[in-house]
Structure 1
Amino acid sequence: MKIQIEDKEFDLMLEYDQIKKRTRLLGIQLNVDYEDKVPVFIGVLNGSFLFMADLIKEIDISCELAFVKVSSYHGNDTSSGIVRELIGLDIDLKNRDVIIVEDIVDTGLTLIHILDTLKKLEPASINVCSLLLKPGSLQEDIEEITYVGFEIPNEFVVGYGLDYKGLGRNLKDIYRASTSPSET
């Protein structure tokens, strides 16, 4: 199935049923790993909002939720490499177990910025739960990436919270940018 957003065409990559099943498994693992703790889940806006909502429905343990908003894409389909913090955190994380919830880890620059910022707040632990991971795009290893829904190739994706020029976040499935014969 193909869709069109602005000037780009996209092909179906992951159906919502696959995402739901994997999210359920991630939730089960988090419930086990944090059984005797009260973690703080920190969603990275805007992209993580659908994944965070579905993931938190699978969490049975006591927990708190918070959000931060950072950006390095600025409406394009490639990272600018410049991370700007747009909305800060308003919860005390000292000696707390923190789980950062990401929609996608691409170059890792945004995540490194978030981790560096949160480590200054002296949490007991920090782990990352990301729906998507592009191992081929990571600019350095990030040991805190503990929970991953799907590893994907270095392709531009949209849907299920991920956008292209602000559009497509509302799609329930995830799509990859189509390549024309001249791009291969």
Structure 2
Amino acid sequence: MLHDNTQALARYNSLFNNQHYQAIAAQLAIGLRTERDSMRVSDICNMITDTALSLCQHSHYADAWIKLATICGQNAVSIVAIDMIYNYLLIYQQSADTRADDFQMTAKCLLKAYESADTLRAAVSCANAVHGWRGRMAYDLLSAADYLTQTAVQLLSDGNQSYIREKLQHGIRRITGALHEGLRHSKRPNMFNFSDTHFPSEQDRV
């Protein structure tokens, strides 16, 4: 393994493009509205290096791309910067490896999910003030969307699975509550009858 990691480091050094790397750092500083030498920029740049090493098959950084995507999403790193990082990582990505591609799409997904959070919660608050069963149903559905978005964020960030389950369960309960409103008050209750829906269990792992 030590020999493999030595080879990985040698490959990284042979492919390293300082001009590209510095351009990314400069773009990050602009997007984050901070200094080039700030801790925020340095942390992301260090994770870029870790991810590049992982793409060179260094065993110490296998999941680096997930951490990089997560920190990009949490810090609202721009699409422009994400694409620059992606193109840089392609220098190191080898045939049949998809981690650079997965980084790019995960980072963008997290960015958009975080961007939508405040808007979605504002919609939840507004729906809560609408009188009648339609308002209550809309509130439950929008709340479910919020919980399910949080679930997706945690899933893509490789979060704690107990926490993921908790958020998912809250979302399902909100959907169930919404269906109850439709069944009880709609003139066409059959449109909200999903009693034949099957949820998978451990027995479905085939």
TM range (shorter): under 0.3
More strand per residue: 1
Q: Whose RCO is larger (CA < 8 A, sep 6+)?
A: 1
Bigger Rg over Cα: 2
TM-score computed with the length of structure 2 as normaliser: 0.23
TM-score computed with the length of structure 1 as normaliser: 0.25
